[in-house]
Each structure stands twice: as structure tokens, then as C-alpha cells.
Amino acid sequence: MCWARAEIMKLYEGEDWYLQLDSHHRFTRDWDEKLVAQALLTGSTKPVLTTYAAGFTPGAEADAAELVTTMEFDRFTAEGLLLPKPAVATEARVAPIRARFLSAHFLFAAGSFVQDLPHDPELWLTVPSVARSAPH
């Protein structure tokens, strides 16, 4: 996965924003404007929005599409890797909240992210198979 993400980052040509996500996500109307607005609400010069976004199955209704999701600590694997889990924010949110984890599943950041934190194409993680379901 990191090799492919590193290859994709080679396509960066100085754009203001960078979006990285897995293929199993659904877009909402005006998604780009909403992400930029949320990034600006962070007050950071180098904002990063990340989470385990609600999944998408072709032909099915959106699963938890309107829920605000977060990432929480689940456990450490036998190999010592931290394994986060998706969760649903329990309070209404207007602006993003500071996070402790970054998910390559959904990442929206200032374009400089590509140069500041490029994916290492030599990094190969072996993560145990864990059944993940969309937050309920």
C-alpha cells in the first residue's frame, strides 16, 4: 500500500490540497468545499483531516454517511502495532477535533503534506486481518 501511495504522490504538482482515500467511500455534494471549510476551521497552517470514514458498498444505501466518525485506541497487536478502531463522535461537532492517530484510509491535508510527509515506498506493514465494520 505505501508503494502505491508513494507513486500517487509523484503526481503532485503544487496543488493547494491533497486528498487520499480508499476506494470504498462515497462522496457527498460539495465535498471539496466542505473539506476546505473544515480544514480552515482548524486554524492550522498545515491542517490534516483524517478518520475512518463510513464505507460504501456499490448498490447499497450509505452506511452511517451522516455520522461524524473518530478513531480511538483499540489495542496493540502481537507484533506491537497500534490498532485503532472507528467510533462515532458522541457530541455534535462544528469544527474538527484534534486527533491522536492518522488514517491513510481518508486523509485531506494542505498540499505541502506530500513534500513534508511522503509515503515511504519501502515500508511494508503486515497488519493482522481484523474484521472492521462501519461505526453504528
pLDDT digits (tens, 9 = 90+) for 46-85: 999 998 876 667 777 665 556 677 888 899 988 888 888 8
How many other CB atoms are found less than 10 A from the CB of residue 48? 17
pLDDT at 110: 96
Ramachandran angles phi, psi of 117, nearest 5°: -135, 65
pLDDT at 65: 56
Residue 128 has pLDDT above 70, yes or no: no
Provide the grid cell at 11. 503526481
Q: Are 42 and 60 in contact (CB under 8 A)?
A: no
Residue 16 has pLDDT above 90, yes or no: yes
Average pLDDT, the chain: 82
Query: Which residues share a beta bridge with 110?
Result: 17
